[in-house]
Amino acid sequence: MNRLHVVKIGGNIVDDVDKLNHFLTEFAKIEGSKILIHGGGKIATSLAEKMGIEQTMVNGRRITDAQTLEIVTMVYVGLINKKIVAKLQSLSCNALGLCGADGNLIKSHKRTGANIDYGFVGDVDLVNQRLLNQLLDQEVVPIIAPITHDQKGTLLNTNADTVAQEVACAMASIYDTTLIYSFEKEGVLLDVNDEDSVISKLDLDYYNDLKSAGKIFAGMIPKLDNAFMAIEKGLKSVIIGNADHLDMLITGIKGTTIG
């Protein structure tokens, strides 16, 4: 079974040109099949504020009204996605930018039943495994922005950590798949202010204990929830760590291993 690395890059790295370029240089060096998923929350938030559109985050997830949906679509699918694709092309990495509506890549439905109305937020129903496999077979690297669709003409803002998990799990039946969440921290930290407090291995019981004790900061919860969901679905390898050390995350030398 061929190897596949599904990498999600965090928003704080996307916001920093130098850090993003370093990350993309390392990503381009990954041998074999690979897929990149990105968000870009701070850029979208900054633009919304300039336009006078108030933004609300709940447990690390954005409340998405109609105006906010237009902003995140422009920023994620347009500005950020194409900048990433252009940089990778300059590194001889043949990247193709996509969102969930392209090629019917990711079908989702508008979230319902939650205590909070998240607006135009999507929960994933189906990932087009066949399309991704065809692209990978042609040595094309998919770069996925987390805007999905409902096949009824509506775009939906979908958590990028969730998209990464769903993509990795969809591909795991045909590839030996590793899911990597890369961001600005060294891994899952026992003390958010201490980069040396990395938890090298985190199982579900320990995670639930830390979450109950309030020791997991809000922005990390969606990432970890998705990491454990991937393990529950049968994915063998999920690693969380610093985007500056992507090569060492791949080998498991650094970061937090989930399982």
Q: How many domains does the chain have?
A: 1
Token pair listed for 153: 């003409």
The reported pTM is 0.94
In CATH, what number is assigned to the domain containing residue 26?
Answer: 3.40.1160.10
Residue span of the structural domain in which 221 resides: 3-258
Alpha carbon 259 to its chain's center: 19
Closest CA to 177 of 241, 132, 223, 126: 132
**Residue 57, beta-bridge partner list:** 62
pLDDT tens track for 179-223: 999 999 999 998 888 888 999 999 999 999 998 888 887 778 888
Better-scored residue on pLDDT, 41 or 134:
134
In which element (H, E) is residue 109 found? strand 106-110
Question: For every residue of 16-59, which 3-state class applies, written as one string?
Answer: CHHHHHHHHHHHHHCCCEEEEEECCHHHHHHHHHHCCCCCCEEC
Token pair listed for 42: 């701070």
